[in-house]
Amino acid sequence: MTAPWWREGVLYQVYLRSFADADGDGTGDLRGLAGKLEYLAWLGVDGIWLTPIMPSPGADWGYDVSDYLDVDPAFGTLADLDELVVAAGERGIRVLLDLVPNHTSDCHPWFLAARSGRDSPLRDRYVWAAPGPDGSPPSNWLSAFGGPAWTLDEASGEYYLHTFLPQQPDLNWRSEDVRAAFDEILRFWFARGVAGFRVDVPHFLLKDDELRDNPPAEEADPWWVHRHGQRLVWNFMRPELHDVLRRWRVLADEQEPGRLLVGEGVIEGHQVAAFYGGGDDELHMTFHLGLANAPFEVVALRDVVEEAERLLPPGSQPLWTLGNHDIARYGSRWCEGDPRRIRLALLLLFGLRGTPTLYYGDELGLGDVPVPAESARDVEGRDPQRTPMPWSQEPGAGFTAADVDPWLPVGDRAGLTVAEQRGDPDSALALTRDLVALRRRSVDLRAGAYERLPASGGVWAWRRGGRTIVALNLSGEEDVVDDVAGTVALATDRERDGERVDGRLALAPWQGAVVIR
């Protein structure tokens, strides 16, 4: 039986607004992306995930949807999307969209109707509650962006819930009306050939029907709990959300071919594992962002990976990434621009069991771009990791026309453009392409089990399948891995490719290798 494409493939996240601008307005668009499919096919990716393309006022850059059945004019039209899906498919690339089910925009027709009065037939599509006896919010729940998660609607005298911005009212997933509406939304996009969805914040979908207060954080709680000052108990990871995920899985699996459902990961490994259900009845995969949130050192990274290996249901596929549009780029966060560490991080991503995902520009080793206050756009300060893709050194960076100001500054990308790296066999881009190709050739790297091997100091080594060893030296000291024999298929120092190893693999500081017996 042939494995599903996503088990053996490579995903690539496109922050569409920053990828390629075809119409010259300084903002990336669908036609711009279509013009870069040759590059993505050359790189070897199998699927692209697009950040939200549906119409939105832009309070949270597309994560406040005002119409689930159309394309935002800033990005193009439905016809442009249809053409992209066909053109990508001709190159063996699938297109996934971002689905935002927890909340809509406050400009969505559903919310405008719900807000028109307590007797509105759409009122129940959102979470409304009466004030406390003293006029206070119905519960102590907090917005992820700070402050109460409740806003008073003066006209009706009730509060509405917003886990994020006040412009992003939460949908009521206890309503069958909401569930049926999303059935049709999924079918609409599936019918257009979309290969699946990355599901935004599924952990927040269901809330306690009694709206009980969350308890305060305790000393032993992880950092992300203390950030909010309370344990997310009654508005996070509610057991009922699994009914929704199972319903979507049925819809995805009944398509021909079946469609892929990917979840946004949360911090704790057991929470990530919960989205898989029994392994084959909820989401197909969930990003494990614990890897990207860990420090770049052996114990922390290894613990995240081995926790996933223990907790995921049998047969489940891990989904790894070095970062995304919400996280500082690994080139800055882990590597401080050091080319040795950049190569090591890429080898880590492609050496693990699971499906690797590149955030656009990861293949170049991009770091964050400082964005001055007068150019800042995002309420949460995430602009530095969302700046335009540097295709070339010419004015506009090949992202937009030379005389156009891009929506965010490109920054200084000398040595980090596609044009410079594509012709350099020692570049991060060349290494990434070769890692993709090696993975495609190697059954061990595509599907082999993970087994940790003995190693000392700052070295992390593991076996994949029966013949392949991956070893990383995550330290500034030279080290050795014993009992390794074979040929270096690929090393972060490319001069070592093809080297024979007879028992001891020596690794310079911040060096890694894949050895095949």
**pLDDT per residue as tens, the chain (517 positions):** 688 999 999 999 999 999 999 999 999 999 999 999 999 999 999 999 999 999 999 999 999 999 999 999 999 999 999 999 999 999 999 999 999 999 999 999 999 999 999 999 999 999 999 999 999 999 999 999 999 999 999 999 999 999 999 999 999 999 999 999 999 999 999 999 999 999 999 999 999 999 999 999 998 887 778 778 899 999 999 999 999 999 999 999 999 999 999 999 887 888 999 999 988 899 999 999 999 999 999 999 999 999 999 999 999 999 999 999 999 999 999 999 999 999 999 999 999 999 999 999 999 999 999 999 999 999 999 999 999 999 999 999 999 999 999 999 999 999 999 999 998 999 999 999 999 999 999 999 999 999 999 998 899 999 999 999 999 999 999 999 999 999 999 999 999 999 999 999 999 999 999 999 9
Asked if the bond preceding 257 is cis, omega within 30° of 0, the reply is yes
First to last CA, the chain: 27
Residue 350 class from Cβ within 10 Å (0-12 exposed, 13-18 middle, 19+ buried)?
buried
Strand-pair partners of 484 = 503
Token pair, residue 214, equals 């969350």
What pLDDT shows up at residue 94? 98
The rounded distance, in Å, linking the Cα atoms of 139 and 372 is: 37
Phi, psi of 482 (to 5 degrees): -85, 165
Name residue 168's amino acid.
Q
Q: What is the pLDDT of residues 107-138, one digit of tens each?
A: 999 999 999 999 999 999 999 999 999 999 99
What are the C-alpha distances in Å from 502 to residues 74, 438, 453, 467, 494?
57, 22, 17, 14, 19
Phi, psi of 505 (to 5 degrees): -105, 110
How many other C-beta atoms are found inside a 10 Å radius of the C-beta of residue 375? 14
Active site positions, annotated: 200, 254
The rounded distance, in Å, linking the Cα atoms of 242 and 423 is: 48
Q: What is the pLDDT of residues 197-256, one digit of tens each?
A: 999 999 999 999 999 999 999 988 877 787 788 999 999 999 999 999 999 999 999 999
The rounded distance, in Å, linking the Cα atoms of 291 and 245 is: 24
The rounded distance, in Å, linking the Cα atoms of 33 and 16 is: 7
For CA atoms 37, 382, 358, 6, the dihedral sign is negative
State the DSSP code for 48: E
CA 258 from chain centre, in angstroms, equals 21
Question: DSSP string covering 143-207, please?
Answer: -TTSSBSEEEETTTTEEEE-SS-TTSPBB-TT-HHHHHHHHHHHHHHHHTT--EEEES-GGGS--
Q: Within 13 Å, how many C-alpha atoms sit on residue 87's CB side?
A: 17
Token pair, residue 428, equals 């991060």
The rounded distance, in Å, linking the Cα atoms of 335 and 296 is: 8
DSSP alpha helix (H) spans, 352-442: 418-422, 428-441
The rounded distance, in Å, linking the Cα atoms of 36 and 42 is: 10
Q: What is the dihedral of CA 354, 183, 173, 68, to 10 degrees?
A: 90
Q: Global pTM?
A: 0.97
Please choose, from the candidates 103, 114, 95, 105, the residue with its C-alpha nearest in 3D space to the C-alpha of residue 55: 105
Place of tokens 């922050």: 15
Under a CB-based contact definition with an 8 Å cutoff, are residues 19 and 36 in contact? yes
Name residue 47's amino acid.
G
